[in-house]
Amino acid sequence: MIRKTVASVTDALEGVKDGMTFMLGGFGLCGIPENAISELVRQGVKDITCISNNAGVDDFGLGLLLKKHQIKKMVSSYVGENDEFERQMLSGELDVELTPQGTLAEKCRAAQAGFPAFFTPAGYGTEVAEGKEVREFNGKMYILEEAYKADFAFVKAWKGDAAGNLIFKGTARNFNPCMCGAARITVAEVEELVPVGELDPNQIHIPGIFVQRIFQGKDYEKRIEQRTVRQK
């Protein structure tokens, strides 16, 4: 059995360099790889391209990398909770590629499956389709979208084992699964790391073949991005 555990987040990020492209799982602040992001901030890696559904908030998640001006380009579908992101985008400091949410997920999934591209109707007739091949299928127009290419994918799971098998919990099962195996190296941080054989095979969401490195994270804040409560 191949064991993929590493001792720390520093070991997990071995090989990370300036100018690389990273995928980062999560939706809002749910299921984000907090330890990996903190280590990227600590290492000061710069000129990076980040593929993520959103850019966190000003003082948490990818917002920490934005604050340090470490991100050169953001590929996202939603960026409305980050004032610093807005400032950098409007000032021209940050290159931004906005992508329909389903297309973003499918571009990750295509990379995971080894497909170079796929056709989708999302974005046809808009700026999203500019410069892309257009074809008609069954009377409906589709645009060609290419799969993402990334150096590292950083994902967060609830539980994993030494072989890299992963289980996600609740809403954290968002962009994390489709980013596993979609980059050259997938790094998984988990809340609980167990020996091989302790996970029920029927409960595993991502098999270890999609993961190259795994470590047990710590000090998770698990912030709530927008807290809404019912009036009494």
Per-residue pLDDT tens digits for 91-101: 999 999 999 99
Residue 139 falls inside a structural domain: no
Phi and psi at residue 221, to the nearest 5°: -85, -40
Domain count, the chain: 1
Find residue 141's DSSP bridge partners: 136
E-assigned strands of 21-94?
21-24, 48-51, 71-76
- Residue 157 confidence (pLDDT): 97
In CATH, what number is assigned to the domain containing residue 186?
3.40.1080.10
Q: How many CB atoms lie within 10 A of CB 41?
A: 15
Domain holding 60, by residue range, is 9-117+149-216
Instruction: State both tokens at 167.
Output: 């289980």
Residue 161 falls inside a structural domain: yes
Report whether 20 contacts 154 (CB < 8 A): no
- The label of the residue with tokens 């903190």 reads 38
Q: What is the average per-residue pLDDT within 97-113?
A: 96
pTM of the full structure: 0.93
Q: How much is the mean pLDDT over the chain?
A: 94
Residue 17 falls inside a structural domain: yes
- Residue 222's pLDDT band (boundaries 50, 70, 90)? confident
**C-alpha 137: how far from its chain's center?**
31
Residue 137 falls inside a structural domain: no
Residue 57 falls inside a structural domain: yes
Residue 230 falls inside a structural domain: no
Residue 47 falls inside a structural domain: yes
Q: What is the pLDDT of residues 128-141, one digit of tens each?
A: 999 999 999 999 99
* Whole-angstrom distance, CA of residue 53 vs CA of residue 100: 10
- The contacts of residue 66 (CB under 8 Å, 6+ apart) are 55, 56, 82, 84, 85, 88, 94
